[in-house]
Structures are given as C-alpha cells and as structure tokens.
Amino acid sequence: MFVVFTVLFMLTRLVIFPFWLIHCTWVYPLEQFAPFFGYYFFNLMLLILQMLHLYWAVLISRMVYKFIFSK
C-alpha cells in the first residue's frame, strides 16, 4: 500500500499539479484580466506548495528506498 501511495503521490503532486494546475493559474487568467495582487499572491502560494511537495517527495522516496533495500 505504501508503494501505491508513493506512486500516486509522485504522479499527482509532481506531474499533474505543476503541469496542469499551476500552468492554468499562471497563463490563462492573463488572457482575460490584468494581473493584480491576488494573482501574484495565489501563484506564489501555489509555488510554495510545490516546493513542499518536492521536499515531501524526497522524504517519501527515501522511506521507500529504505523499505525495499534495507534488511
């Protein structure tokens, strides 16, 4: 179960989130509206969340590595 969780976490947090959600919030609003404070703040928070996802992915990967290759 933990390996399944790891695969799903990596797929959703490191692939779908940055290349779909962050891309949509970064590019499409500028086609209809002028940038304002909320646009920059919201995207900054999403980028901080992505950095946390990267940190957690490293921790989870190390746990999987220890689970598979340790005695």
Distance CA 68, CA 27 (A): 40
CA dihedral in degrees (63, 67, 68, 70; nearest 10)?
110
Q: Which pTM does this prediction carry?
A: 0.86
pLDDT along the chain (71 residues), means of 10: 93 95 92 91 97 97 92 73
The amino acid that residue 31 corresponds to is E
Q: Residue 30: its pLDDT value, please?
A: 87
